[in-house]
Amino acid sequence: MGFKYIKNSENTLTHGVIPLRKAALKIIDHGIYGGDPGIGTFKKVYIEDDTLHVGEKKFDLSTIGRIFVLGTGKGSYPIASALEDILGDKIYKGFLAVKKGETRRLKRIEVMEAGHPIPDENSIEAGRRLIALADEVQAGDLAFLAVTGGCSALSISPPGEVTLEDYQRLTDLLLGSGAIIRDINAVRKHLCQLKGGRFVSRVQPGTALTLTLDTQPKGMLWPDMSLPDISTFADALNVLKDTGIWDKVPASARKYLAEGLKHPEWETLKSLENMNAYLVSVGDQIQACESAAKKAAELGFKAHILSTSIQGEAVVAGRVLAGLTREIILRDRPFQAPCALISSGEMTVSLGNKIGLGGPNQEFVLSFASEIEPLERFTCASVDTDGTDGPTEIAGGISDGMTFERIKKMGLNVDHFLKEHTSTDLLGKLQDQIITGHTGTNVLNLRLVLVAPKK
């Protein structure tokens, strides 16, 4: 079918509104490609006449010291790979922490696989290695920091008496609490000696050049290892209490966070003033949405990018977008078919006591299907651009105007799967999972609705 990322189109294109499904998968595939940070790195970093260009900065190669490449995150590999191609043997040392399953390796930069979304022993080792190498950087040296989403689990350095098991339990509780990513990271940044700008501070007095995917969740600076942190210990404590998980959090974490209120010197960095630190975006969800819109237009759909920063419960988002789609189909407003509705952002799922296998993108497409009557003029697809939705190896899912009827004919109830948070199971039965494997990027969720003309 000519897809770069989608690996199971032979399953998803055997049923339903096949022409619309095929178009939707092409658009999603092209959107993921648009967020590839490796492409962005080649645009922003290059050598010309013995001068190293990094974004708007220029460095005379004859006067700089050693060059390090240190990275962590689900989108860090393409950045590091591009840097290796650009810099070659100018790289003195390099280390990269990637998600388990990323099997590609580099010649000059060591690559270690670690756990995500729950950190593991390798996450601890990756944190130790990154700190050790950052501490090696001296005045006159350059340190490229490839930091993207996923770094909060892939490389950790818990403080005090907080063990790996404690950090794992805390992460599990946070991910199931329904808290938005900004609040989750307010906690994690205060329980890790790399986050909250500390990674950059360790590189000083060398120069830190952070290359990142600039996803910019509302109210949160990103990436949190390379920028000052606006959250506090008090904020972290409030998140745990407001989400109702305080009593379940390991005692070591509660103790450290409470003690942090008395020790302002423990706080994350509130400013990087007077530090040699620069940040360059090599990709974002805006580029992914615009790339999807371009492909939609090529396929004959008027593209509308609704938003690049939608947050909230996946089930609610599915119902809202279903209502908008129904209005288009029945009343030709606010947009006229054929059209493509494109959006991005970071959806969440509140698990409560029901911990099934699924993810926000999978719940989104099922919620969408359950909310709209059987109409053959639309299809809906949603993926996490990194290729893993929630704790699964599924990128997301697809549904259309025939999905709800297919579920009923199977004798199943979509609401049951949504309440039990077992969306992966139902999409598997429907052959409506979208599988990409590791994509090498991580620019939030990418959602798409296609509406065909009345004819």
The answer to whether residue 239 sits within a structural domain is no
Is the domain of 204 the same as that of 343? no
The structure's pTM equals 0.83
Which of the four pLDDT bands, split at 50, 70 and 90, describes residue 222?
Answer: low
More confident residue, 373 or 431: 431
Is the domain of 14 the same as that of 64? no
Q: What is the dihedral of CA 223, 227, 231, 232, to 10 degrees?
A: 130
221 pLDDT above the threshold of 60: no
What CATH number corresponds to the domain at position 342?
3.40.1480.10
pLDDT digits (tens, 9 = 90+) for 227-256: 889 999 999 999 999 999 999 999 999 999
60 pLDDT above the threshold of 80: yes
Q: What's the pLDDT score for residue 213?
A: 85
Q: Mean of the per-residue pLDDT values for the chain?
A: 93
Is the domain of 201 the same as that of 316? no
- What percent of the chain stands above pLDDT 70? 97
* Residue whose tokens read 């290892």: 225
Average pLDDT for 171-182? 88
The answer to whether residue 65 sits within a structural domain is yes
Average pLDDT for 63-75? 95
Closest CA to 71 of 46, 96, 102, 100: 96
Domain containing residue 222: 37-157+192-231+268-281
The answer to whether residue 261 sits within a structural domain is no
Is the domain of 14 the same as that of 91? no
Q: What's the pLDDT score for residue 215?
A: 63
217 pLDDT above the threshold of 70: no
Closest CA to 43 of 219, 233, 287: 287
Q: What's the pLDDT score for residue 219?
A: 45
Is the domain of 89 the same as that of 25? no
The answer to whether residue 66 sits within a structural domain is yes
Q: What's the pLDDT score for residue 375?
A: 74
Is the domain of 124 the same as that of 197? yes
Is the domain of 66 the same as that of 25? no
Closest CA to 95 of 111, 79, 114: 111
Long-range CB contact pairs, 45-50, < 8 A, 24+: 45/82, 45/83, 45/86, 45/211, 45/280, 46/86, 47/86, 47/87
Q: What's the pLDDT score for residue 388?
A: 92
The answer to whether residue 379 sits within a structural domain is yes
Is the domain of 202 the same as that of 310? no
Q: What's the pLDDT score for residue 385?
A: 94
Do 267 and 260 touch, CB atoms closer than 8 A? yes
Give the 3-state DSSP-derived string for 268-286, with helices as H, strands as E and coil as C.
CCCCCCCCCEEEEECCCHH
Is the domain of 198 the same as that of 297? no
pLDDT digits (tens, 9 = 90+) for 318-372: 999 999 999 999 999 999 999 999 999 989 888 877 678 999 999 999 999 999 8
State which of 183-197, 203-217, 218-232 shows the largest mean pLDDT.
Answer: 183-197
Do 88 and 46 touch, CB atoms closer than 8 A? no
DSSP sequence for 116-141: SSS--HHHHHHHHHHHHHHHH--TT-
What CATH number corresponds to the domain at position 217?
3.40.50.10180
More confident residue, 143 or 179: 143
Average pLDDT for 266-288? 92
The answer to whether residue 351 sits within a structural domain is yes
Is the domain of 302 the same as that of 224? no
Strands 207-212 and 142-147: parallel
Cis peptide bond N-terminal to 223, omega within 30: yes
Which of the four pLDDT bands, split at 50, 70 and 90, describes residue 210?
Answer: very high
pLDDT digits (tens, 9 = 90+) for 81-108: 999 999 999 999 999 999 998 999 999 9
Is the domain of 14 the same as that of 73? no
The answer to whether residue 177 sits within a structural domain is no
The answer to whether residue 242 sits within a structural domain is no
In the chain, how many domains are there? 2
Which of the four pLDDT bands, split at 50, 70 and 90, describes residue 220?
Answer: very low
Which class for 357: exposed (0-12), middle (13-18), buried (19 or more C-beta within 10 A)?
middle
Which of the four pLDDT bands, split at 50, 70 and 90, describes residue 216?
Answer: low
Is the domain of 61 the same as that of 140? yes
Phi–psi pair at 356, nearest 5 degrees: -100, -170
pLDDT digits (tens, 9 = 90+) for 389-420: 988 999 999 999 899 999 999 999 999 999 99
273 pLDDT above the threshold of 50: yes
